[in-house]
Amino acid sequence: MTRGRRIGYLSASKRGARHDKRLFDKTHIEPFIPPEVSVMADSGFQGLKHPGACLPHKATRKRPLTVEQKQWNTLLASLRVDAEHGIGGMKRMGAVADVYRNRIPNTHDRFNLIAAGIWNFFISA
């Protein structure tokens, strides 16, 4: 996702509830991300080993967040809002939420790519 809410990469979709970090690990894409590229991820990616990973801090009952950690989380959220808006825009097309029941493998992923392309076209117009 770029700063202008354009969608640049989609992983393969999976059925059911899956953990974000586990899906990311199975794509094996992390070695191909250059170290100078910042990866602004949400709290579902705790444990990401990329040198440019920017992750929010998580509070516990015994260890609440400090003022600096809260400021960092606010800054990171303000940078990630464009990505979340891009994902939401693509989901509004319905192709991402609905399951396309076809016997041809990976057809659902093709619809996701089409939805991402339509979204990118929509925001560039």
14 in any annotated domain? no
26 in any annotated domain? yes
Instruction: List pLDDT tens digits, range 17-63.
Output: 777 788 888 888 888 888 888 888 888 888 888 888 889 999 999 99
Across the chain, what does the average pLDDT equal? 79
Give the model's pLDDT for residue 14: 67
Q: In terms of pLDDT, which residue wins out, 118 or 100?
A: 118
4 in any annotated domain? no
63 in any annotated domain? yes
- In total, how many domains does the chain have? 1
CA atoms of 21 and 55, how far apart (whole Å): 12
Domain of 68, in residue numbers = 20-124
Q: How many residues in the chain?
A: 125
Give the model's pLDDT for residue 67: 97
**Cα–Cα nearest to 110, from 100, 123, 124, 119:** 100
Percent of the chain as helix, strand, coil, to the nearest 5: 45, 5, 50
92 in any annotated domain? yes
Examine the pLDDT at 74 and tell me if it is beyond 90: yes
Give the model's pLDDT for residue 62: 94
Examine the pLDDT at 11 and tell me if it is beyond 80: no
Instruction: List pLDDT tens digits, range 90-110.
Output: 777 765 666 666 677 666 667
25 in any annotated domain? yes
